[in-house]
Amino acid sequence: MLKIVVQNSISKVVLLDVVQNVQTGVFVPLHLNRIKLPDDLIRPHEVPEGFESYYLKEAPPRPPSSLPPPGSITLETNLSTFLGSGRTGIVYSLENAILSDPAQFSPELVFKFARLHRCADLHREAWFYEEMECLQGVAIPRCYGLFEAEIPSGCELLLPENQTLVNNPDSKDAQVDQVVHPLITELRSTRNKLCILVEERLGGRLPIGSPFSPEVREDLNTLFAEIGPLGILNENDIRHANILQAPACPPGLPSLVSPFTFRTHGWRMIDFEMAAKTQDTPATLNHGHQEYLQLTLYNLERGYVCDLGGSD
């Protein structure tokens, strides 16, 4: 019987059709290794002096991981369809994906490529996926790791459908962290690394121009309440493009029951590169998230997209 690949099973990704030798025109397989992120990459926001009574005494700790010891599987693949892009990255589906262990299989995956000047943002997002492991498959996608490689000298990146990882490289970095980790500082100036985040593929977006049923509204309202018990603030990325349907099962993996609300959701929230770890109470966080969510839903029902949150 085939085993399902768990989120820490893949240790290496080999991209077959992305890096081309400029002189010979031959594609060079690029080996990207999984990155182990520092536990303190993101540090909780400090509580304003004089307002301590409104906050938790400390930020909620990361729940213990339920994953087995890390695996050593290699995922070798070509890129397929361009699925979308934003401030931080570009997302592709995969084609001819092969795992080095034939006894295991994975759900359909997508790669999120960091723009060459946004590797720091993708590291931040990967850290939050690790912080929210207990909500993967519940309220957020299952995440299979952050992978990185240096672009070989004399080679260039060629992404399908003429996409590029260079986009307004002089734009200002989002300043989310009060205390910036040295790795983030280093990555802000990096331009020769390819960073990808591997996630399960989700479904479509919320419809535009039609009323949402009470069931969908209830699902979304409780969906955004899920991250509050972990002390995570993500107002900046609540928008239409960042709310996707859960994957159909089959072929995707089934939705899991929330450890906090004991609900099963039909939707997922994505994009956490501008999130923050806080000592805010779950009620405070949910109030802020609901303000952004309700405005997003209000506009969608009236036929247009107008989000309070930032772009990808």
Classified as helix, coil or strand, 54 is: helix
- Known binding residue 193? Answer is no
**Which residues, 6 or more positions from 205, have their beta carbon under 8 angstroms from its beta carbon?**
240, 241, 243, 244, 245
What is the spatial distance between Cα 150 and Cα 30, in angstroms, rounded to a whole number?
A: 9
Nearby residues of 209 by Cβ (< 8 Å), 6 or more positions away: 300, 301, 302, 303
One-letter amino acid for residue 306 of the chain: C
Q: Distance between CA 237 and CA 272 in Å, rounded?
A: 7
**What distance in Å separates the CA atoms of residue 80 and residue 161, rounded to the nearest whole number?**
9
Q: Please report the beta strands in 69-125, taking only residues with DSSP state E, as ranges in sequence order.
A: 73-85, 89-99, 104-105, 109-114
Instruction: Collect the ranges in the chain with pLDDT lower than 50.
Output: 311-312
**109 vs 204: CA distance, rounded Å:** 15
Which uninterrupted H or E stretch holds 284? helix 282-301
Please list the helix, strand and coil fractions of the chain in percent, rounded to the nearest 5, in that order: 20, 30, 50
**CB proximity list for 87: less than 8 A, separation 6 or greater:** 118, 121, 171, 310, 311, 312
**Per-residue pLDDT tens for 190-247?**
889 999 999 999 999 999 999 999 999 999 999 999 999 999 999 989 999 999 999 9
Place of tokens 């993101």: 42
* Nearest in space to 71 (alpha carbons), one of 22, 6, 124, 134: 6
This prediction has a pTM of 0.95
Instruction: Report the alpha-carbon distance of residue 279 to residue 55 in Å, rounded.
Output: 6
Q: Strands 243-245, 89-99: parallel, antiparallel or unpaired by DSSP?
A: unpaired
* pLDDT at residue 32, rounded to an integer: 98
Cα atoms in the 13 Å half-sphere on the side-chain side of 302: 8
- In 211-258, the DSSP E strands lie at 232-233, 243-245
Q: Provide the pLDDT for residue 312.
A: 44
Amino acid sitting at position 177: D
Q: Residue 203: in which H helix or E strand, if any?
A: none
Kind of pairing, strands 3-4 and 104-105? parallel
Give the model's pLDDT for residue 307: 63
Domain ranges of the chain: 3-301
